[in-house]
């Protein structure tokens, strides 16, 4: 999969939505990111990009200090800059903020192309190479593009190819990571089925103790099955839409445990 192409498309769409939001008298709130406005989300994603630009550029095997503000190349004049401790920042989205974001996103894209996928670098997953990050960042860009568009009432779906991979990545990377970051109950044998309705994708996920086991060719729907487009499955797994936007069959009590087993971040 060409993750860099997905990243480029989603970043440009994110930037376009942010510039549309900048026409408003105040920064719109992001319903799917409670406590944040569009400006706060731009600071977050732009900060991630510049953090990764340094991480990959220096081939670091431990993450850089997030408190080192030189990593983020902030403008000298921060008078219009959203203050994280004051979120949600409702002042109009500043042009310099959007420009800062766009510059950082382009620099990270260029770095993805320049370094390739096989250089050793720190990640929060089992794969400790640069290839981890275009995959992760194309998914994160798609989700946050959806967040801004949703705030404007214009949310388009996540590209089906990327969304199929995002479902897989959830259980290969994100679910184990989230369970390690946030106290979570041990799995008691719960089996969740996920079925794509706009393609052939099927996933079975088994929670057993600390283990999260993914099967791509399940022999049954599990204790509960959720069916929907690849985009909607991804949006549910990232807690952007509720389960009632999907077709659910099976045990409601098991479904109710999902976000205890995989805590939101």
Span 112-130, mean pLDDT? 95
Supply the pLDDT for residue 65: 87
Could you tell me if 229 and 157 are in contact, meaning their C-beta atoms sit under 8 angstroms apart? yes
190 close to 181: Cβ distance less than 8 angstroms: no
Per-residue pLDDT reduced to its tens digit, 223-257 = 999 999 999 999 999 999 999 999 999 999 999 99
Structure tokens at 225: 């099955």
User: What pLDDT, on the 0 to 100 scale, is given for residue 178?
Assistant: 96
pLDDT at 222: 85
96, pLDDT greater than 90: yes
Residue 218 pLDDT > 80, yes or no? no
DSSP string, 207-265: EEETEEEEESS-SS--SEEEEE-HHHHHHHHTTSS-GGGSEEEE-HHHHTTHHHHS---
pLDDT value at position 68?
85
261: left (phi over 0), alpha (psi -120 to 50) or beta: alpha
Cα(109)–Cα(14) distance, integer angstroms = 14
CA–CA gap between residue 179 and residue 99 (Å, rounded): 36
Q: How far apart are CA 243 and CA 163, in angstroms?
A: 17
Contact 42, 97 (CB under 8 A): yes
Please calculate the CA angle 175-55-129 and round it to the nearest 5 degrees.
Answer: 55
Q: What is the CATH number of domain 3-156?
A: 1.20.120
The two three-digit tokens of residue 240, written as one number: 């952007």
Domain 161-261 has CATH 3.30.1050.10: yes
Hey, where are the domains in the chain?
Answer: 3-156, 161-261
Q: Which residues pair with 111 in a beta bridge?
A: none
Contact of 166 with 234, CB cutoff 8 Å: yes
- pLDDT tens digits along 17-52: 999 999 999 999 999 999 999 999 999 999 999 999
Fold match, 3-156 / 161-261: no
Do 247 and 240 touch, CB atoms closer than 8 A? no
């Amino acid at each position: 999969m060409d993750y860099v192409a997905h990243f480029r498309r989603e970043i440009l769409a994110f930037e376009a939505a942010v510039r549309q939001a900048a026409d408003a008298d105040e920064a719109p709130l992001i319903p799917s990111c409670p406590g944040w406005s569009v400006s706060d989300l731009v600071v977050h994603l732009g900060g991630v990009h510049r953090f990764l630009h340094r991480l990959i550029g220096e081939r670091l095997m431990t993450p850089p200090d997030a408190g080192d503000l030189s990593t983020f190349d902030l403008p000298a004049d921060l008078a219009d800059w959203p203050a994280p401790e004051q979120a949600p920042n409702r002042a109009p989205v500043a042009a310099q903020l959007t420009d800062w974001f766009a510059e950082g996103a382009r620099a990270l894209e260029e770095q993805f192309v320049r370094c390739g996928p096989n250089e050793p670098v720190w990640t929060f997953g089992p794969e400790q190479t640069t290839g981890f990050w275009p995959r992760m960042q194309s998914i994160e860009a798609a989700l946050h593009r959806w967040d801004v568009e949703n705030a404007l009432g214009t949310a388009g779906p996540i590209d089906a190819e990327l969304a199929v991979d995002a479902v897989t990545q959830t259980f290969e990377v994100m679910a184990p990571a989230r369970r390690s970051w946030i106290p979570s109950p041990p799995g008691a044998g719960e089996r969740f089925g996920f079925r794509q309705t706009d393609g052939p994708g099927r996933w079975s996920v088994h929670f057993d103790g600390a283990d999260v086991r993914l099967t791509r060719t399940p022999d049954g729907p599990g204790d509960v099955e959720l069916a929907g487009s690849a985009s909607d499955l991804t949006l549910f797994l990232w807690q952007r839409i509720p389960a009632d936007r999907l077709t659910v069959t099976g045990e409601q009590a098991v479904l109710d445990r999902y976000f205890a087993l995989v805590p939101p971040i």
